[in-house]
Amino acid sequence: MNALADPRDARAFRCVRCGYADGVAELAYAFDDGPELIERIRFPDAPGLAEDRKVVFESALRMLHLIAGVSYYKAGVPPRIEVGTGPLDASTAELLDALYVDGLAEFAYRNGLDLRGKIAFPRAAVPADPGLPSMGREGRPRVLVPIGGGKDSLVVVEALKAIGSESTAVWVGASPLIAGVAARTRRPTLNIGRELSPVLFEYNRIGAWNGHIPVTAINSAILACAAILYGFDAIAFANERSASAATLEYDGQHVNHQWSKGWAFEQVYAAWLRTHVAAGLDYFSLLRPFSELAVTRAFAKTGAAYFDVFSSCNRNFRITGPKPADRWCGHCPKCHFVFLALAPFMPKPRLLQIFGGNLLDDDTRAAGFDALIEYRDHKPFECVGEASEARAAFTALAARPEWREDALVARFREEIAPQLDAAPLALEPWLEPAGEHGVPERFAGALDAIRRA
Amino acid sequence: MNASTTAPLAPDAPWVVLKFGGTSVATEARWRTILELAGARRARGARVLVVVSALAGVTDALKSLCGSAAPERLAAVERLVERHHALVHGMGLAECAGVDRWLASLRVLSQEGGATADAATSQPLWQAAVQAHGELLSSALGAAFMSANGLPTRWLDAREALLAREVPFLNDRARALSAQVQADPDPAFAAALAARGDVYITQGFIARDGDGRTVLLGRGGSDTSAAYFGALLRAERVEIWTDVAGMFSADPRQVPGARLLQRLDYDEAQEIATTGAKVLHARCISPCRRARVPLLIKDTRHPDFDGTAIGPLPPEAAPSIKAVSSRRGITLVSMETSGMWQQVGFLADVFALFKQHGLSVDLIGSAETNVTVSLDPTENLLDSDVVAALAADLARICRVKVIAPCAAVTLVGRGMRSMLYRLSGVLAEFGRERVHLISQSSNNLNLTFVVDEGMLDGLLPRLHDLLIRAGALRTDDATLFGPTWQALYGVSDSHVHAPWWRAARTRLLDLAQATPRYAYHLPTILERAQALRAMRSVDRVYYAIKANPHPAILRALARAGLGFECVSPGELDAVDAVADARESPRLFTPNFAPRAEYAQVMQRGLATTLDALHPLQHWQELFAGREVMLRVDLGRGLGHHDKVRTGGASSKFGLPVERLDEFLELARTHGVRIGGLHAHLGSGILDASHWPVVCGQLASISEKIGNVRVLNLGGGLGVPSHPGEAELDLAAVDAALAEVKRAYPQYELWLEPGRWLVADAGVLLARVTQSKRKGALEYLGCDAGMHALIRPALYDAWHEIVNLSRLDAPADTLYQVVGPICESGDVLGADRRLPNSSEGDVLLIAQTGAYGESMASRYNLRPLADAAVIE
């Protein structure tokens, strides 16, 4: 192979072309005149595309191409982005600009880059919308529920069961862990394949920029294509209220580790789908009005079928095993948070059985829990709840006889709690839905199901 | 059947009770076995009572039928009718009136349903009556089949013989579904049966209550029935025929080297059944003990295996621990207060609260200021708020702490206290961990440790091994301990290669002209290398040359396409010294190496592994703009099995994963790329399922780092050392890693095996110098000691030792095999059975190809052992 040029020296990132045939979408990119980077998305057992869906699908696929490009663009972060698949209207270009700046904010921070003002998708005056075909919405909603192996999407699965929706558990990429969890949903499953271009790995080897990408945006775009292909009329994500919070502020920019799970992205992408793909395709997060604590409470009540297979551990999100230690490392912020947030809502012996140990009775984990409650430390770069929720959970445990003597709960009680303002520490306010959300009226019953679980 | 079957029995002919479970009565072939076994006992002059369970699956079907609505009940009954009719025909019976009778009564019962005016009392009794039909049917079928096949067999209704006793405080449900029977020898009943026939078949699981209604005996009910009948008839013995040969010294699924327990006394058997073994329900032992009836557990599929005999203690047996068992999911409640325990009634108040919350306490440990009790894992405990409610009540009178999940590890053996002095190694094993509670029962039969459940993984095999080595589990006593589970049920010996040195014996005896001397068998090493190269999911294999840097081995492995992992400049030089190896890929993976070594190696452009912040903090210029590998320590994890013991703060290897961000920051600052992530999984791992999880953790960390292209899983491929241990299934490892590769296709996977490649290929040859008797011990001295092979002294490693001069002579003498070094730890093998050996005999110490010669020293200024290579 010829020596690859370092993408960091490239002048332009080119979204070259995209196409779909026989269940496989091909998305091609390049830096300058370098080799094509081709990503393939495989839709298993995809039915043929009906004639009246073709235009709609084409539109969703083009957007997928541009959104998924973020994985490749970031390798070089060149000054110019070129789009070879036709002109973009202003709202599309704006969505993409925001995605590339805010979705890559953590990546930029980590690599000492600043992308603000540097990303401009080409836009052109595009003729008015030709009029979108409406998606059929007869009968019960047909919902795609992306699952990730953790508790949140399982709360969504169970809430949708409660209102009788026809849901299908869907995930992208190979993951024995998620497959194991999906099998427990007793719902149809759909595993979409995604193959990154091997050229990207080659670029990484020669020192390309690397880091966090807004993967939820990519999955959203893949699922929009899947919804049209397989005939679903809703996509129900499981992102909570706290996903919208910035993880830290850096040089005047809010860096949100999970920006594409946030309310801002949800609104703009849902609106884009309504105006550019199909007015009847609902894209929303069912958990948006809920806190992490409200979600863990619902999971403790409705998730018994998953207790021995689910995992939210960040050290291990694809591989599974029979022992708790195979699913929970016990050391990462996610393990700490999920343990803490479930504790007020679950019989203690059951929780300890799930994790195979008691994370709150171990002095060596003090620093990890301190970080969660922002005691002496700032919030770690992981998808965990707000510090105040963690504090509320600690406060609840400190009052519980079966928990209060455990090493870290006792420490919280004696050393930390006296330093905190007592007012916001109550658990109950966290359990009520609040704030904006985009859950369509026809799914309102599912919100109730979560609240009343 | 031969004539003796029908020869009349003496009036005092003994009774034998045979019990068969659900799978043993589900097919015609299995019924033939029952027929043969019963016929043989009758032929030998015994009266026979066969106790049977329902056909496999039928009790569950009847149970679920009880919870169904009427139409579904009838459909379920029809399925049972079909199944039993099919078996009647399959067994060559035209019809079976007994079976039809019980099918008819089952139909009637299920039509009626359980709800009557007084549903609360009738429902459990109705359920009992319905469920009893499983056994009524199977026994009726058996009576017809055996009688039709030459062994006249009378059908006995168990409810005539077994009367449930009144137990105070039992609720109606327990009274109907978990009844107990007082079974004392009843000569009149035995005589009456004997007068009517020689061979009987009856039902397990069922009895009658004082009003003549059907009740059930609960879990393990059929075994219990057999024990009751054994006691009633004062049988010569009760035989429990099942799918395993008996009780073992540990759970064979965890400890393949567990030994069959050939003889147990009643108390030991009861203790083992209570603390873990599933083969026999603990309840069935006490009726037999009271009536002094021996029990025998046998394997239906292997009647030739000895089985476990449970009876009065053989008086000649030495005290020995018989079994080590474990139970998971235990919750401890620790209650602490100062001075209150002395107060009259305080403990009574505490225990009253447990009773009030419906919790039954198992183990208790108490001290001046603390009482800790254990609770078994029940659904109530796990899924209700009972623990929270109990803790709230207890908190009013003392400080409460709820500790879970715990596991109880129990050593069982009569005379436990007299064996304590042998348990120091075992105690040390526990001493490393948090022991929450130790309990030693006053019956002197058990010693129980309650520890964190996570500690259990891998613990039982280690304990079992330690107990044998400590002489506390006397596996050398062949009257008590039978073969290992592995030997009985594991891979048959024909699959295990005979070691290469058997065939090379003459050559080795020749090489033993000069001793001590190592001999290395290159074909064995090449075979291993090829097996590794054939793993599809592994992209590159580096031989960890510290295991054995012999030039001939390096040459052979270089030719086989392996790379080399070196931990010092000296090892790099050793590779350079071998012409064939100079072009091979190599990896420098030192630990706490000085700056100069890194400088030298980076200059040569070799792949180098860092495992600390220090080099990037202080020697940046060596690494700036370069690529390094990073060894991380994934930490203890929750499991904390021995397999990750190289991880955690107590190990000096690896960058703790919590400090990864600092390392990445330094790397960014100095333009250092991280090309690979390395974690050592531990060593001696024989379980393939261990790999994907750790590899998955590494991969998910790598994704966050970016630029990583290699995951180096280190070594750790285990080599079985004890006889009967299963080999690592390399194909299973390959398949497990392939799954990781599917989830993380961007990474190359590397392995760095050392011991796995060379251990089996090497032997150490030594000559016997003399023998010495001291007290009960016979020492056998040889010219190889800890200077030649330090692993036994350093790691307690076990190496097989044989007398090569007398290879197939009977091993009749128990030796302590020792070397010539002036250290009391200079023992190569303790308690080894060898042929009676003489000065000049050649001993072979096996599996010494790894960390043998390479760790040898000139301690005591004895010369180094040399080495010979067998091509």
Contact status of A206 with chain B (Cβ, < 8 Å): no
SS (H, E, C) B60-87: HHHHHHHCCCHHHHHHHHHHHHHHHHHH
User: Strands B15-20, B47-52: parallel, antiparallel or unpaired by DSSP?
Assistant: parallel
Nearest CA-CA partner of B629 in B536, B748, B754? B748
Beta carbons within 8 Å of B283's beta carbon, 6+ residues apart: B220, B223, B224, B227
Structure tokens given for B127? 């359920």
Cross-chain CB nearest to A348 (options B387, B675, B745) = B387
B-chain CB neighbours of A326 within 8 Å are: 639, 693
Contact status of A378 with chain B (Cβ, < 8 Å): no
Cβ neighbours around B491 below 10 Å, total: 12
- To the nearest whole Å, the CA of A406 is away from the closest chain B CA by 7
CA angle B108, B111, B114 (to 5 degrees): 105
Q: What is the pLDDT of residues A10-20, one digit of tens each?
A: 999 999 999 99
- To the nearest whole Å, the CA of A55 is away from the closest chain B CA by 33
Chain A interface disruption, residue of B386, B627, B638, most A CBs within 10 A: B638
A-chain CB neighbours of B638 within 8 Å are: 324-325, 328-330, 355-357
Which CATH fold would you assign to the domain B3-242?
Carbamate kinase (3.40.1160)
The DSSP call for residue B870 is E
Share of chain B above pLDDT 70, in %: 93
Q: Are A443 and A286 in contact (CB under 8 A)?
A: yes
Q: Is B96 among the catalytic positions?
A: no
Q: What is the pLDDT of residues B168-178, one digit of tens each?
A: 777 788 889 88
A21-24 long-range contacts, CB within 8 A, separation 24+: A22/A46
Give the pLDDT confidence score for residue B650 in this predicted structure: 67
Structure tokens given for B197? 């026939």
Chain B interface disruption, residue of A338, A348, A406, most B CBs within 10 A: A348
**What is the reported pTM?**
0.81
Using the structure block, give the residue that is written with the tokens 């066969």.
B50
Q: Are A300 and A354 in contact (CB under 8 A)?
A: no
Q: What is the pLDDT of residues B107-161, one digit of tens each?
A: 999 988 766 545 545 688 999 999 999 999 999 999 999 999 999 999 999 999 9
Question: Chain A 275-334, CB below 8 Å of chain B: which residues?
Answer: 304, 314-326, 328-331
C-alpha–C-alpha distance, residues B53 and A96, integer Å: 69
For A320-407, strand residue ranges (E) read none
Of B661 and B317, the structure prediction assigns the larger pLDDT to B661
Give the pLDDT confidence score for residue B667 in this predicted structure: 93
The DSSP call for residue A411 is H
Rounded to an integer, what is the distance from CA B716 to the centroid of its chain? 21
DSSP B179-192: --B-----HHHHHH
Chain A interface disruption, residue of B693, B698, B702, B746, most A CBs within 10 A: B693
Distances (CA, A) of B819 to A160, B150, B841, B855: 73, 67, 14, 16
Nearest CA-CA partner of A12 in A37, A34, A31? A31
- Helices A151-162, A292-302: axis angle to 10 degrees equals 60
Contact status of A202 with chain B (Cβ, < 8 Å): no
Q: What is the pLDDT of residues A206-258, one digit of tens each?
A: 878 888 899 999 999 999 999 999 999 999 999 998 887 766 777 777 788 78
C-alpha–C-alpha distance, residues B687 and B720, integer Å: 11
CATH 3.30.2130.10, domain B323-473, yes or no: yes
A408-426 b/e (C-beta count within 10 Å ≥ 16 → b): bbbbbbeebeeebeeeebe
- To the nearest whole Å, the CA of A209 is away from the closest chain B CA by 8
User: Domain map of chain B by residue range?
Assistant: 3-242, 323-473, 520-756, 759-870
Cβ neighbourhood burial of B494 (10 Å; 0-12, 13-18, 19+):
exposed
Q: Are A294 and A310 in contact (CB under 8 A)?
A: no
Contact status of B798 with chain A (Cβ, < 8 Å): no
- To the nearest whole Å, the CA of B324 is away from the closest chain A CA by 22
Beta carbons within 8 Å of A277's beta carbon, 6+ residues apart: A56, A59, A60, A63, A132, A224, A228
- To the nearest whole Å, the CA of A355 is away from the closest chain B CA by 8
Contact status of B391 with chain A (Cβ, < 8 Å): yes
Give the pLDDT confidence score for residue B314 in this predicted structure: 64
Three-state DSSP state, A422:
coil
The DSSP call for residue A415 is I
Three-state DSSP state, B869:
strand
Distances (CA, A) of A44 to A47, A61, A179, A191: 9, 16, 15, 7
ipTM above 0.90, yes or no: no
First to last CA, chain B: 62
Backbone angles phi, psi at A369, to 5 degrees: -75, -30
pLDDT at residue B319 tops 50: yes
- Is A112 within 8 Å of B707 when comparing Cβ atoms? no
What domains does chain A contain, in order, with CATH numbers? Answer: 7-126+140-285 (3.40.50), 307-431 (no CATH)
Q: Are A11 and A80 in contact (CB under 8 A)?
A: yes
Which run of H or E residues covers position B690? helix B690-705
Q: What is the pLDDT of residues B382-426, one digit of tens each?
A: 888 899 999 999 998 889 999 999 999 999 988 888 888 888 877
Q: Are A18 and A34 in contact (CB under 8 A)?
A: no
- To the nearest whole Å, the CA of A51 is away from the closest chain B CA by 35
Residues paired with residue A249 on neighbouring β-strands, in sequence order: A254
C-alpha–C-alpha distance, residues A266 and A439, integer Å: 11
Secondary-structure percent of chain B, ordered helix, strand, coil, rounded to 5: 40, 25, 35
Nearest CA-CA partner of B752 in B713, B787, B725, B783? B713
Q: Are B138 and B53 in contact (CB under 8 A)?
A: yes
B213-246 b/e (C-beta count within 10 Å ≥ 16 → b): bbbbbeebbbbbbbbbbbbbbbbbbbbbbbebbb
Give the pLDDT confidence score for residue A112 in this predicted structure: 86
- Is B693 within 8 Å of A319 when comparing Cβ atoms? yes
- Is B395 within 8 Å of A212 when comparing Cβ atoms? no
Q: Are B619 and B595 in contact (CB under 8 A)?
A: yes
- Is A400 within 8 Å of B697 when comparing Cβ atoms? no
Minimum mean pLDDT range among A405-409, B4-8, B91-95, B680-684: B4-8
Q: What is the pLDDT of residues B299-311, one digit of tens each?
A: 988 888 889 999 9
Beta carbons within 8 Å of B117's beta carbon, 6+ residues apart: none
C-alpha–C-alpha distance, residues B527 and B559, integer Å: 13
Distances (CA, A) of A421 to A7, A391, A426, A431: 50, 10, 11, 20
Q: Are B240 and B246 in contact (CB under 8 A)?
A: no
Q: Do B520-756 and B759-870 agree at the fold level?
A: no
A-chain CB neighbours of B394 within 8 Å are: 401
Give the pLDDT confidence score for residue A1 in this predicted structure: 45
Instruction: Give the residue on B whose Cα is nearest the Cα of A111.
Output: B668
Beta carbons within 8 Å of B293's beta carbon, 6+ residues apart: B227, B230, B231, B234, B235, B236, B237, B238, B287
Instruction: Give the residue on B whose Cα is nearest the Cα of A173.
Output: B743
Cβ neighbourhood burial of B111 (10 Å; 0-12, 13-18, 19+):
exposed
**Cis-peptide into B516, omega within 30 deg:** yes
Q: Are A412 and A375 in contact (CB under 8 A)?
A: no
Q: What is the pLDDT of residues B337-380, one digit of tens each?
A: 876 666 778 888 889 999 999 888 989 988 778 889 999 888 88
CATH superfamily for B759-870 is: Lyase, Ornithine Decarboxylase; Chain A, domain 1 (2.40.37.10)
Beta carbons within 8 Å of B37's beta carbon, 6+ residues apart: B18, B239, B241, B303
Chain B interface disruption, residue of A74, A353, A377, A383, most B CBs within 10 A: A353
The DSSP call for residue B126 is H
Contact status of A180 with chain B (Cβ, < 8 Å): no
Which run of H or E residues covers position A20? strand A12-21
Looking at this protein, which amino acid is placed at residue A132? L
CATH of B520-756, one of 3.20.20.10, 3.40.630.30, 3.40.190.180, 3.40.50.720: 3.20.20.10
Contact status of A175 with chain B (Cβ, < 8 Å): yes
* Alpha helices in B386-484, H assignment, sequence order: 386-394, 424-431, 459-469
Three-state DSSP state, A151:
helix
C-alpha–C-alpha distance, residues B495 and B720, integer Å: 14
Looking at this protein, which amino acid is placed at residue A52? D
pLDDT at residue B4 tops 50: no
- Catalytic, out of B96, B288, B398, B822: B822
Structure tokens given for A446? 């599912």
Quick one: pLDDT band at residue B863, thresholds 50, 70, 90?
very high
Quick one: pLDDT band at residue B28, thresholds 50, 70, 90?
very high
C-alpha–C-alpha distance, residues B151 and B414, integer Å: 42
Backbone angles phi, psi at A15, to 5 degrees: -85, 95
For B735-806, strand residue ranges (E) read 748-751, 762-774, 777-782, 801-803
* Alpha helices in B512-613, H assignment, sequence order: 522-533, 551-559, 569-576, 595-603
Using the structure block, give the residue that is written with the tokens 């949903």.
A185
SS (H, E, C) B437-461: EEEECCCCCEEEEEEEHHHHCCHHH
Give the pLDDT confidence score for residue A159 in this predicted structure: 97
Quick one: pLDDT band at residue B647, thresholds 50, 70, 90?
low
- Rounded mean pLDDT of B71-84? 92
